[in-house]
Copies of this chain bind each other. A is one copy, B any other.
Amino acid sequence: MPIAPPLPTKVAPHLFVILGATGDLTGRKLLPALYRLKQQGELGEQSYILGTAVDTDIDDAGFRARCRRWLAADGVKPEELGSGWCDEHVFYQTLGSGGADEYAALAKRIAALEQQFKLPENRVFYLALPPSVFPTAISRLGEAGLNTSKGWVRLVIEKPFGRDLKSAELLNDIVHQHFKESQVYRIDHYLGKETVQNLLVFRFANSLFEPLWNRDRIECVEITVAETLGVEHRGGYYETAGAMRDMIQNHLTQLLTLTAMESPSSFDAQAIRREKAKVLLSVAPIGPEDVVFGQYTQGTVDAQAVPGYREEPGVAKDSSIETFAALRLEIANWRWHGVPFLLRTGKRMPRHVSQIVISFRRPPVSLFRPFGDCEIQNNSLVITVQPDEGFDLGFEIKKPGREIALDSSRLSFRYSEMFAPLPEAYETLLQDVLIGDPTLFVSDDWVEDSWRIYTPLLERRPPVIPYAAGTWGPEQAKSLVKDLGTQWITR
């Protein structure tokens, strides 16, 4: 059985090029994460950042000044930072209007820095750009010869990866014209490395659950990603997306594939990706009766009155974009045939929670039926991803006392009770890029296979039903679970 060669444990000398370096993502996430990794000694001896953006009015000094402000805003004390790190490790090169000549100038600057610091031409290109600019930027990088080097070249792309199957295929085509798939790191920061690894260890290092993890034992699987927030300042973007594109196609489907996948042949990226892809290929077509869209109206969340979606800034007064989506699908393979998978996400829900609920079938007979209060509840396993990561096992016990009566109880485990806080998602993801571990990143076929499932639903969108902010979405969502004789379990 081929085992992937072990990954290097140390980061090699490199240049980290950020395209869109003056934007929000760089300031709030990338730079702080790189700084903290550096402080922890995780970036090796030689790690340099080259920011590049449309801005022509700043130079190295100006960019470094911004970086200092960003780090200060992230809680890094100026006296801790000093002047050294930014001055010695951070550089800036304008891309101006993003023409071919400007990419040629970028290539020259990269070569100059690599010569100055005797770097082995290991390069990361991080596209911190609006998705509309991805195709151009990728083509220009390729045309400027920046897709290869004497070292390694890695291209990092933030979601969204297309907005339907066709655009995703197009984007992948452009990527593959210039880069090999093994060079590409599609980042989905929602699933931190820890969470994914916790899930896989939980499933495959325990013998308790695997024998139960199938259609014979499981009645349904419910995956909920609920936010209490509305669209906030992202109304303009959200109007072009909606809950299906923003959450279901990526985050919830990641949780779905991690939950449903077969055991991989090993714990390396390729083996895990292969199993996740197999799950997507087995998803049966979703009928229109199995999808419910909703849009929040004004209501109350956390005891605060909040406006409806159509009153948010940047949102059309007659918008038909869904802020809630619930759907029911089936994975048509030996393990899962006939088990409903219920996916649900929404903004302005009653609470902020991301949860996978495995609801087991009830015992075939109730021995305790003749004795009064003995209705047996389904055993359940609740895997909480956010907040307060952990899991709960729900089971039945006997109430003490002379009569036989059942009661439901829970065994709970919380990572936070056992361990210190987990590292920030971006830190581990950037480190993985630098080490070359693609496990947590999204492959080209995963993106396309996922869009293949959902694109038909977006082409014949169901009606968008209003729901009051602070509720679990439209009443109609209950129709998806009504034959299960139950409510949605996460509440």
Contact = CB atoms under 8 A, between A and B. Distances in A.
Interface of A: 3, 6, 42, 194, 197-198, 200-202, 204-208, 210-212, 216-217, 263-264, 266-267, 360-363, 365-368, 370-371, 374, 376, 378-379, 393, 395-402, 404, 406-407, 409, 411-413, 415, 418-420, 422-423, 428, 431
A400 B379 contact: no
Interface of A is mostly: loop
A375 to B, nearest CB: 10
Contacts of A42: 402
Contacts of A360: 207-208
A362 B207 CA distance: 6
Q: How many copies does the complex hold?
A: 2
Contacts of A415: 397, 400
A422 B402 CA distance: 10
A390 to B, nearest CB: 9
A197 B398 CA distance: 7
Given A207-B362, A211-B211, A400-B194, A393 B411 contact: yes
Contacts of A419: 399-400
B379 A267 contact: no
B367 A207 contact: no
Nearest to A193: B402
A194 B404 CA distance: 10
Given A197-B404, A267-B371, A397-B418, 4 more contacts: A6-B370, A204-B368, A206-B396, A402-B428
Contacts of A420: 400
20 contacts: A201-B406, A204-B363, A204-B367, A204-B368, A205-B366, A205-B396, A205-B406, A206-B363, A207-B217, A207-B361, A207-B379, A208-B379, A211-B217, A212-B212, A263-B365, A267-B367, A267-B371, A402-B431, A409-B413, A409-B418
Contacts of A211: 211-212, 216-217
Contact of A205 (B212, B363, B402, B411): B363
A39 B212 CA distance: 48
